[in-house]
A and B are shown apart, each in its own frame.
Chain A
C-alpha cells in the first residue's frame, strides 16, 4: 500500500508526461488471499494507470525468465533463482522499446517501491528529457 501511494504521488509530479503505467498486483504474503480491494486500488488514481490482478504470478515468472536468459542485459551478474518473485519493484522503460519474447531491459528498476521514489523520479526525468527522444 505504501508503494502504491508513493508511486501515485510520483506520477502526480508528471501530470502531462506521456506515461503508460501497468501495475500488477500479485499474491506474495499469506494475507494476499484475494485481489486488492477498492480502497487499495484507489491508492493509484492516475488515469494513465492500468491495474491487473495476477493470482498465478504469471508476469513475475516471465520477468524472471527473461532476466535469467541474459542477466547482464538487466544489470545483473548472475541469474536469479527460478522461483524468485519480482515484487515491490518499479521499472521504467524507454519510449522506443517493444516487449517481444523477452522483457526489454528497463532504463531503471528499483525497490522497494516506497524507497525508490528518488531514483525513479530521476529516471523519469532523464527518459522524458528532449535528448532521450
Chain B
C-alpha cells in the first residue's frame, strides 16, 4: 500500500468514525423518550417546577411516598 492510499484509507475510516459518533451523540441527545405504559410522560423540571413537584408529592397523601434520585448512566 502506498503512503497516499494509506492516508486515504485513514481519512475514510476517520470520516466514518466521526459520522458514527455524531449519529450516536444525536441519538442519545435527541431521541424521543418514552416511559412505560401507564405512567405519566417524562417531566422535565426547571427552577419553577419545585411547586409542581411538591404538589405531586402531596397529592399522594394517604399513600406511602417513595422518592428516588438517580443518574441516567
Contacts and interface: CB of A to CB of B under 8 A. Distances in A.
A88 B67 CA distance: 11
B39 A51 contact: yes
Interface residues on A, range: 35 or more
Interface in B27-41: 28-40
Most buried by B among A1, A22, A33, A90: A22
B4 interface: no
Given A20-B60, A38-B33, A99-B58, A86 B46 contact: no
Contact of B63 (A18, A34, A53): A18
Contacts, number: 177
A50 B46 contact: no
Contact of B67 (A27, A36, A93): A93
Contacts of A18: 62-64
A35 interface: yes
B50 interface: yes
Contacts of B66: 7, 11, 19-22, 90-93, 124
Contact of B32 (A21, A38, A47, A60): A38
Contact of A32 (B54, B69, B72): B72
A119 to B, nearest CB: 13
Nearest to B58: A98
A99 B60 CA distance: 11
Closest 3 CB pairs of A and B: A20-B60, A47-B38, A45-B36
Given A51-B42, A59-B53, A100-B54, 12 more contacts: A4-B68, A20-B60, A21-B66, A27-B72, A47-B37, A47-B38, A53-B43, A62-B50, A88-B71, A92-B66, A95-B63, A113-B70
